[in-house]
Amino acid sequence: MGKTPVRWTKHLAKLSLPIPVGFKSKCYLQLKIADAGPSRRDGQTNIEVLLDGHPLGKIPLEHGEESYSIPLPLANNPAEPDFRLGEIELIVPTWCPNDYFGTGDNRQLGIMLDWIKLKCDQLHI
């Protein structure tokens, strides 16, 4: 994490980024989470990841600083290689610091996000 600024998400975080279209390369959305916060309920806490409103998958959160990768779907009928603007959504169960630490901090927090990257095999973005 170092000196790189991080941000806590809320229940829903949205990000627009260029999505490759028509490339034969496999692409992945990579996330580095600096802190997932405490467990929200019994069992595993998951992040739901969507691209343009369509589910890409769920990522089970681990405690502490972790990096995650989720594949992006390839276009069925690849056109001329290009990019389009896509909307990534992260849906996360929230937690309240006051409930866990008695601090008087009543914010509803999701995850502490360090960065999000798009990585493609054989394609440099």
Q: How many domains does the chain have?
A: 1
What is the domain-level CATH number for residue 40? 2.60.120
Quick check: is 18 in a domain? Answer: yes
pLDDT given at position 75? 63
* pLDDT tens profile 58-75: 998 888 889 999 998 876
Quick check: is 113 in a domain? Answer: yes
Averaged over 30-54, what is the pLDDT?
A: 84
What is the pTM assigned to this prediction?
Answer: 0.84
Assess whether pLDDT exceeds 90 at residue 15: yes
Quick check: is 45 in a domain? Answer: yes
Quick check: is 59 in a domain? Answer: yes
Task: Give the whole-angstrom CA distance, residue 42 versus residue 59.
Answer: 16
Lowest mean pLDDT of 9-18, 38-47, 58-67, 108-117, name the range.
Answer: 38-47
Containing structural domain, residue 44: 7-120
Quick check: is 2 in a domain? Answer: no
pLDDT given at position 116? 92
